[in-house]
Copies of this chain bind each other. A is one copy, B any other.
Amino acid sequence: AEEGDDASLEDPWQDDEYFGSYGTLRLHLEMLSDRSRTETYRQVIVSNSASLRDKVVMDLGCGTGIISMFCAQLAKPSMVYAVEASSMAEHTRQLVKQNGCEEVVTVLQGRAEELELPEQVDILVSEWMGNCLLFEFMVESVLLARDRWLRDGGVMWPSSAALALVPCQADSYYTETMAFWERPYGLDFTPLQPLAQQEFFTKPKFSHLIDPEDCLCAPCDVICLNMYTVQVRDLEEMTGEFQFCVEKPGIFHGFTAWFTVLFESLEMGGATVELNTGPNSDPTHWKQTLFMLDRPIQVYAGDSIHGNIVLRRNPVWRRHMTVALHWTINSNTDDSQAGTKSFPMWR
């Protein structure tokens, strides 16, 4: 039995592990090096700079403080509260000074839940999204901060978020992890295939980069969050429906998921800014998340794949969830086939 599976002995939020990892540079470097992500937030600030004048902003989970410094350097807010729970906050304070932003940006080290501010804020900006949008559930901290610190009529950035899903081929992954055992070096290693299925197909594959060619049809948004109205309790179980029409013959190896978030404009008639982490946009550090079926299924143009997805938050390990997929394939030629599979992510 794995050590630490006993919640009574361990923090169900795993905060030491979670915030500990954000106390090192590696994750911050990965996020900052992600130009699509970082330039999108920069673009949000630039395109709303007039409306940000004299506003009070909270940047929740600010990391190195990049978004806060964009605010200070590219707009004229009266105050930016840069909130960071990890020990990175000390360095963030230094960076704010080094870049001459200390008049505007106040770095606060602490958890969102324990935050004390002298005033409410006009804008709550945060980069809280994880794999499959919700993984690690930083969104809960954002919603708590919203309910406590965002003034009536204040703005949320992102303003909405959607989880997208598409049935797909994943031939290289299937070949490398499953077909591999069929005849490596002239030997029969098929007795290892049940082990391979257990090890490689039980949990979703993070950091998958799907080629648009491997999407069997157009993706579909299965879950949408309105960041003004969604409640923490809604996160316990989120359900979405899908209905796909296969566009070309191929092998249905699994589903790929990713997210899109929108930033509404503060300016009259201003354009909404989008961060899309899907296969038709520039790759981000999130890449996409692949859910492999146990067995590949041949599908044909015109087949329909419909069903639903349920994201069930782990009742014990609060940063984890299970993704349950249920699907039915209807084709003109074959009988219909249904399947269901639950993927722990990670517990």
Q: Does A91 lie at the interface of the complex (its beta carbon under 8 Å from any beta carbon of B)?
A: yes
Residues of A within 8 A of B (CB): 24-26, 29, 32-33, 38-39, 42, 64, 66, 69-70, 73, 91, 94-95, 98-99, 176-177, 180, 184-192, 195-196, 199-200
Partner of A95, one of B26, B95, B191, B196: B191
Q: Which of B94, B180, B200 contacts A191 (CB 8 A)?
A: B94
Residues of the B chain whose Cβ atoms lie less than 8 Å from the Cβ of A42: 185
Decide if B98 touches A29 in the complex (CB within 8 Å). Answer: no
Given A187-B99, A192-B64, also A180-B29 (CB < 8 A): yes
Distance (whole angstroms) from the CB of A25 to the closest CB of chain B: 5
5 nearest A-B residue pairs (beta carbon) = A94-B191, A25-B199, A98-B188, A99-B187, A25-B195
Measured in the bound complex, the distance between the Cα atoms of B189 and A33 in whole Å is 13
Copies in the complex: 2
Contacts of A187 in B (CB 8 A): 66, 69, 73, 95, 99
A73 CB to nearest B CB, Å: 8
Shortest Cβ gap from A42 to chain B (Å): 6
Q: Are A189 and B25 in contact, with the CB atoms below 8 A?
A: no
- Given contacts A188-B98, A195-B25, whether A33 and B70 have CB atoms under 8 Å apart is no
Interchain CA distance A69-B196 in the complex, whole Å: 21
Query: Mind listing 29 A-B residue pairs with CB under 8 Å?
Result: A25-B192, A25-B195, A25-B200, A29-B196, A32-B184, A33-B176, A33-B180, A38-B185, A39-B185, A42-B185, A64-B189, A64-B192, A66-B184, A66-B185, A66-B187, A69-B187, A91-B191, A91-B192, A91-B195, A94-B191, A95-B187, A95-B189, A95-B191, A95-B192, A98-B188, A98-B189, A98-B190, A98-B191, A99-B187
